[in-house]
Amino acid sequence: MDELQIARATAQILYRLEHWGKIVADHRPSEAGTGRFDGEELQLRKLKRMTYELARSRAAADCRDFEAVLRETEQGVMVEMGRILAETVDPVLEGLRSETVAEEGEVCGVCQEEMESGDEDVKSMGCAHRFHGFCIWRWLTERKSCPLCRHPLDPTVQYLKV
């Protein structure tokens, strides 16, 4: 991994963490603040170690002082991260519409659980399908189309480039 790859992976995790709280708090308040960040924290630690390893191999290859190379490498990662995050818009929420559930018994297309009428956090992507905001957000962080009909997310929205 080089600086750009480390920066990309880090940005992705930070992005997920940042939006996680917001989306979970909207829809499933009880899940916010539970141990769900463990995987992300572990990944962040791994990426830090990769930065370290990268600096170590460079220092060895160039016969240079490790501390100095490490500082350079860390700075390189930060620069790339800044660039990536500056281009970032919310990849999912920008492409979703808020909806209200009119019919009793309508189920979320992701989790198949019933959505309650009056549920404030129901979203659609512009096709006929509706989902819990939390469920479709998670889905769309992996794929960019409706899980039921493959209707694409609005292509005019500039999505996270990581």
Residue 129: both structure tokens together: 């399908």
Are 73 and 54 in contact by the 8 Å Cβ rule? The answer is yes
- Which of 7, 47, 81, 108 lies at the binding interface for Zn ion (CB under 5 A)? 108
| The binder of Zn ion chosen from 6, 55, 59, 135 (CB under 5 A) | 135
The answer to the question of residue 60 lying near Zn ion (CB under 5 A) is no
Classify 124 as helix, strand or coil: strand
Helices and strands in the chain, H and E counts: 4, 3
Listed in order, strand segments (DSSP E) in the chain are 97-99, 122-124, 130-132
Smallest distance from Zn ion to CB 40, Å: 22
Least CB distance to Zn ion at residue 115 (A): 7
Residue closer to Zn ion (CB basis): 55 or 146: 146
Nearest to 92 by CA among 54, 52, 115, 124: 124
Query: By CB under 5 A, what part of segment 139-158 binds Zn ion?
Result: 146, 148-149, 151
Does residue 42 bind Zn ion (CB under 5 A)? no
- Applying CB under 5 A, which residues contact Zn ion? 108, 110-111, 127, 129, 132, 135, 146, 148-149, 151
